[in-house]
Amino acid sequence: MGRKNSFRTRISNSGYAQYNTGSGWKYVHRRVAEKKLGNKIYRGYEVHHINGDKLDNRPCNLKVLTKKAHRAIHRKGI
């Protein structure tokens, strides 16, 4: 019998949920944000967890920002 496809997940060393694509690990929050946008996240952009919880990957908690804007938010402690 062949091996069943299974959906594997883990928490990264940096505290983010990841899933295995079969060819590597991807971040859940980035995938959810791409589905929300209806497009891929382009280079130079990052996904921000509005409430600060790295495991809260609800679409309403994710915001795509430029790296510069994302860094500014975290410098202010928001």
**pTM for this predicted structure:** 0.86
* pLDDT score of 5: 58
CATH 3.40.30.10 fits 9-76, yes or no: no
First-residue to last-residue Cα distance in the chain? 52
**Mean pLDDT (whole number) for 16-41:** 97
Q: What mean pLDDT, rounded, does the chain reach?
A: 92
- Please answer whether residues 15 and 54 qualify as being in contact, where contact means their C-beta atoms are separated by less than 8 angstroms: yes
b/e for 31-54, b at 16 or more Cβ within 10 A? bbbeeeeeeeeeeebbbbbeeeeb
